[in-house]
Chains A and B, each alone.
Chain A
Amino acid sequence: MADPAATTETLSPAELARRFEAEAAEVPDRRAYEELKSRWTGKKQGVVRSLLARIGEVPPEERKAFGQEVNRLKEAVEAGLGRLEGEIGARERAAEAARARVDVTLPGRRPHLGALHPVTRVADEITDIFRALGYSVAEGPEVESDYHNFTALNMPEGHPARDTQDTFFVRGGGVLRTHTSPVQIRTMLARKPPIRVICPGRVYRNDNDLRHSPMFHQVECLAVAEGLTLGDLKGTLEAFIHRLFSADTGVRLRPSFFPFTEPSAEVDITCPFCRGGGCATCSGTGWMEILGAGIVDPRVLRECGIDPEVYSGFAYGMGLDRVAMIRYGIPNIRQLFENDERLLRQVR
């Protein structure tokens, strides 16, 4: 090809248009493109500009036609440059993508998250349910006095129900609380009704086998106000169980006996594993005993300085460990306290 700078002086706009096409076809990259662009559309030396400068040399009667030809050339060059820039951009992006290619099926780098204990998770869940029902959380010591753990709960010294509690006695006096009921007593001694509290916490019983751990967890619920009824107990229980398990969980109250409530009931729910159909976990009954409940015995209220003629109360208690085992499918209570990280880290 002849030197373009030498010949643009003499070529007609139409010829120049063909030459631009030919040059554009040879552009390999952005640098060559920028060169091409400045040579053809440059403000001072560009081919198009130089052509326009020649308009004075054209005879007046041809000037209009010449001007139109130059404009066509200008449009063709600009369109050509635009197209070319698009093509080069696409080539560049393709090259970049090829360089950035990774195997997206490689495993992600997981942040090292920890986990909360299954019993904590369940306690938090239960606390949230009760807080939404207007309850607060009350707490008390784990080494309790005999008075708070037994006597005030209508289990005076010599009461046979004490034997069923498998109490750990502390040297020098006191017991490891066998339930969180002493927290109810402390609450009622400290406050006037209306009272709505739950008492979660660790409790201890001298019982150690495959189904029992000498340390475990309970949550108890206590409401004391004017005019609370057995129906209120039942309604609160159902509301709680439906939120904790599912809205279609059946709830059954069976009369039972606890020294600190009268009447008392064992509460069964439809077995969460077989949904009431009967399975090995529920011994084929379709029911699972999950908590104990009752109307606070008037003797307990009186002991705490609350007049049972004015106020009534209901209470219930359940094992948190049991709920955690159901929730997470942990077969053995002992596994809750082995602290095997392989198990703990699975808890969501």
Chain B
Amino acid sequence: MLFSLEWLARYTDLPEDTAELARRLTAAGLAVELVEETEHGTVLDVDVTTNRVDAMNHLGLAREVAVLFGGALREPWSEPPAEAGEETAAAVRVEIDEPALCTRYAARVIRGVAVGPSPDWLARRLRAIGQRPVNNVVDVTNYVLWETGQPLHGFDLAKIEGATIRVRRARPGERLVTLDGQERKLAPDMLVIADASRPVGLAGVMGGEESEVGPATTDVLLESAWFDPRSVRETAKALGMHTDASHRFERGADPELQARAGARAAALMAEVAGGTVLAGAVDVLAPTHEERHRRPAIALDLGRLDAFGGVAVPEGRATEWLRGLGFDVEEAGPRRLRVTVPPWRLGDVLEAADLYEEVLRIHGYDAVPATLPALAEPDAPPTPRQLLRGRVREVLAACGYAEAATWAFQSPEEAASLPALGDGAAAEEPVTVENPLSELYSTLRRSLLPGLVADARFNTRRGAESVRLFELGVAFGRRPGEEGAQGVVEREALGIVCGGAVGTPWDRRRELDLFDLKGVVEAVAEAAGVAIEARPADGLRGFLAGATAELRVGGRRVGVLGRLDPQSGEDDPYPLYLAEVELAALEADPEALRAAREVTAPPRLPGIEADLTLTHAVDVPWAEIEATVREAAAPELVRFRLKDRYTGRGVPEGAVNTTLTFLYHGGERQLTQEEVNEKQQALAARLESRFGWEEAAR
């Protein structure tokens, strides 16, 4: 918000050094973001926080300056010259139909104005703060707004039917063309300023075009009113409008300013546009006015203030500063004050904490000493979920995966392109955003995978030879028929995507496939102390049938692993493999986790290894071979695993050679090769008879 230095100096003495002024204002909470020399004089750009509507004008900011530098405040109030015989009350009628939304309406009338350009001094001040001069009448209303903070409006009295102002709600079907030339459809909850028959202004937002002051105007009706913040905000929002007036009313205008600001504007108008100000004012106060704007009296304990700030505010300074800021301060005992809030700070200062801030911000936060709270027992330790996340990230990074962070927003099509995460998610509805960036970002993700596919493609389009990304994040769903935030289900998930080939021949290049990804998932599950298994799953949306599995933990479906359907969109340079697991499924209960973490001491004696190659039909699942080995295993078989799979020369069509490797161990006793051979032969016979390839049978 811009302020003219020369204009500010009208109300208080400024320090010579503008940099010092900027520094002190900033330190008091009115951050001066820029000091700029313009052709209209020096201008300050001040970031006035929303609670300080009182400082959004030159007089208000000058009040702060006066307190900071100990100067006097020169207020601009003036009464218009008493030369008219005609009474304002005889010239206009004002009726407030909605006392809850307008507690005060002060009107002035100036007859015989000559509408024309404003004098230079006035135009210059407006230009300095980026306002465009229009004509002397309009400029005065604008000037007084930027001077005192009271929004004003001038009507052409000749256009006000019945010389009557009614503050009422819009009637069904009413329309108004506002000053900006837009025709506005009014809703019945909008507060309007109407004459005897129709709306002539949107209360607190903008006047109507028809009653606008123009070159032909001779008599001006000047409005100075107080409107309800919420009503103004809702009307402005509904109509997509934002004006200097609505900005102030929304934040709570000073309810005691209307008569004074009206008089000030009328006097100034007579000065710069000629004309005669009618005698007296019409100042209608709704019966609710006093109650609505009661000024709270707050007890301020200076001892507590000092303890709170950790500083000793010098005796008398708190009183001096608060008075300077407009508070009424009375002694209420030793080091106790009774402080009454000025009308321009009503919404902002409500209790002692607010007064602490007032005093301390003038005193300066720099003076507050830095202390550390006395040590108490530490707060709670990390939760199992927090520890799990750390472990999962650690394993994935060690496996070569880079962590991504993806927006949760997707298009409806993208969100539906892959299955929703979670066992019950299919029955849920997508969570959608009422006011999205665009339709492309209107749905909250139901799975992390569509986002990761998009990320993978971002990389392949830039020539990446491989993609290895993961993300930890939330997938959303809404339980049907359940409204509000509590109807939304958030499932935390681990999503992974990979594809391509890693490394050069020198690096021992490796083509990534489904089993690289499955290994990563298994490593994560193992680190988490959870057994995860993959079951063939066909018909999952977006996945290639025959290369896709459901992931299960304890029989429950907890995720998916598979190859992205190559038909699903772009031409990818290599197959993409995807995995997603619900994080909750990886959260082993503490007892199981402790058990899973226990290590076995390695035996003192070496074991004996043995290999076995089984030729079997390709459609025999490894899981069955594995189960058979487990079933038939001698107690001395301590470990077995897949060593290799081979098809090609020497292997019949439709068959595959599976080589397993076994490790036998006798514990404290050294096994003999003969013993091992015996056990191995029995196992081989069992596997052979169950799965062995018999040419004749084919």
Contact = CB atoms under 8 A, between A and B. Distances in A.
Interface in B261-295: none
A247 interface: no
Interface in A145-169: 145-146, 148, 158, 160-161, 163-164, 168-169
A232 B356 contact: no
Nearest to A120: B403
A319 interface: no
B485 A173 contact: yes
B375 A169 contact: no
A340 to B, nearest CB: 7
Given A255-B357, A344-B404, A172 B484 contact: yes
B356 to A, nearest CB: 6
Interface in B350-394: 350-351, 353-354, 356-357, 360-361, 365-366, 368-373, 375-383, 386, 390, 393
B403 to A, nearest CB: 4
A143 interface: yes
B309 interface: yes
A113 B431 contact: no
B490 interface: yes
Interface in B172-223: none
Given A134-B375, A339-B405, A231 B433 contact: no
Interface stretch (A31-39, A86-94, A261-269, A271-279): A261-269
Given A114-B397, A339-B455, A160 B250 contact: yes
A309 to B, nearest CB: 10
Contacts of B146: none
Contacts of A265: 365
A115 interface: yes
Interface in A198-240: 202, 204, 206, 208, 213-215, 223, 225, 227-232, 234-239
A168 to B, nearest CB: 5
Given A115-B397, A172-B478, A230-B360, A145 B486 contact: yes
Interface residues of B, number: 97
Given A114-B397, A142-B490, A235 B370 contact: yes
A234 B309 CA distance: 10
A195 interface: yes
A236 B402 contact: no
Contacts of B546: none
Interface stretch (B94-102, B118-126, B461-469, B571-579): B461-469
A244 interface: no
A170 B353 contact: no
B230 A158 contact: yes
Nearest to A251: B370
Contacts of A237: 370
Given A120-B393, A254-B31, A344 B372 contact: no
Contacts of B234: 158
Contacts of A144: 485
A336 B455 CA distance: 12
Contacts of A336: 405
20 contacts: A115-B397, A148-B485, A173-B484, A206-B435, A214-B437, A229-B371, A230-B308, A235-B369, A238-B370, A254-B365, A255-B27, A257-B29, A257-B50, A263-B356, A295-B353, A312-B308, A337-B406, A340-B459, A342-B464, A344-B402
Interface of B: 26-29, 31, 49-52, 229-230, 233-234, 237, 250-251, 307-310, 350-351, 353-354, 356-357, 360-361, 365-366, 368-373, 375-383, 386, 390, 393, 396-409, 431-437, 441, 444, 455, 458-459, 462, 464, 467-470, 473-474, 476, 478, 482-488, 490, 502-503, 506-508
